[in-house]
């Protein structure tokens, strides 16, 4: 019978015997550990573990969870188990700038990202042609002060109806409400430019050019009610010089934003990110 692959993420207060308790139960199922990552946060005394295992074809996710219940109860573990045979579903949100969207779709097409795009949602029509070319359902929902709650209710319904695992803000230029951010905590990833000083408002790359910025960066993070301050998943910087134009800054920004977002999405889809308060533990 064909083997199955599961990802198991566990976290709890650190004390002796955690690894032994978990691996003993897995051995009893005839499972084999293909990959193991562990981290002890000394500040909070929290222990984090990610295991990727292969198991006999007769083993189901629910059966795996039942086998681990004694260890889970003993150590009061927070647990997540993913069957790798199930392809994750994502919803991508975008406004007018579509570079991050296009990069995600390309990485899915070539197989580097393993995901099914359940829908593309936008507050503009610009991405409709891309969605139609990729045979992806497209939803054009304009957002303003008067209909924001109504549109977010539609978005939450779409997320639940499609069985989506992740909502990706691929340069979606609307701020999600506190209510929606809390409802989908840990399930929404945003990409944001990173500068010092932090330039807000219109044309941040042009502002950075005017101030002689030497590093352009991007940060992918989970969305929280604190705007652009959610737990960070991935970051990168790139050097720029005085010889570059503002348009060169914009081009560099598009490139780095696309790369960082795609890497963050891959880490999340492969269950390699665990929330640790306001931070993340990333098993790359």
Given the DSSP bridges, would you call strands 78-83 and 138-140 parallel, antiparallel or unpaired?
Answer: unpaired
* Per-residue burial over 254-264, b = 16 or more CB atoms within 10 Å of its CB, e = otherwise: bebbbbbbbbb
Residue for token digits 């593309």?
A: 120
Largest CA distance in the chain: 63
Q: Is 67 helix (H, G, I), strand (E, B) or coil?
A: helix
Give the DSSP letter of residue 30.
T
Q: In what order do the strands lie in the sheet with 4-13?
A: 32-41, 46-55, 4-13, 78-83
Name the residue among 194, 196, 190 with its Cα closest to residue 212. Answer: 196
How many Å apart are CA 69 and CA 83, to the nearest integer?
17
Beta bridge partners of 234: 220
- Say whether 226 is catalytic: no
* Active-site residue, selected from the candidate residues 41, 83, 228, 248: 228
Which residues have a catalytic role annotated? 228
């Amino acid at each position: 019978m064909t083997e199955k692959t599961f990802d198991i993420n566990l976290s709890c207060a650190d004390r002796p015997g955690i690894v032994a308790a978990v691996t003993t139960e897995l051995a009893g199922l005839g499972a084999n550990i293909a990959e193991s990552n562990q981290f002890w946060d000394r500040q909070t005394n929290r222990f984090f573990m990610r295991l990727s295992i292969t198991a006999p074809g007769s083993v189901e996710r629910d059966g795996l969870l039942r086998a681990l219940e004694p260890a889970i109860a003993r150590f009061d573990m927070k647990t997540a188990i993913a069957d790798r045979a199930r392809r994750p579903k994502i919803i991508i949100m975008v406004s007018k700038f579509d570079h991050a969207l296009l990069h995600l779709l390309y990485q899915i097409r070539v197989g580097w990202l393993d995901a099914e795009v359940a829908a593309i949602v936008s507050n503009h029509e610009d991405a409709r042609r891309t969605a139609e070319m990729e045979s992806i359902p497209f939803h054009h929902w304009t957002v303003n002060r008067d209909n924001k709650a109504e549109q977010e209710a539609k978005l939450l319904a779409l997320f639940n109806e499609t069985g989506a695992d992740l909502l990706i803000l691929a340069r979606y230029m609307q701020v999600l409400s506190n209510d929606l951010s809390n409802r989908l905590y840990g399930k929404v990833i945003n990409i944001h430019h990173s500068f010092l000083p932090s330039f807000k408002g219109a044309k941040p790359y042009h502002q950075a050019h005017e101030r002689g910025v030497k590093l352009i960066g991007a940060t992918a993070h989970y969305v929280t009610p604190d705007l652009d301050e959610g737990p960070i998943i991935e970051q990168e910087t790139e050097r720029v010089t005085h010889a570059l134009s503002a348009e060169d800054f914009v081009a560099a920004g598009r490139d780095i934003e696309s790369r960082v977002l795609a890497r963050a999405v891959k880490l999340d889809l492969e269950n390699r990110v665990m929330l640790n308060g306001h931070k993340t533990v990333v098993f790359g």
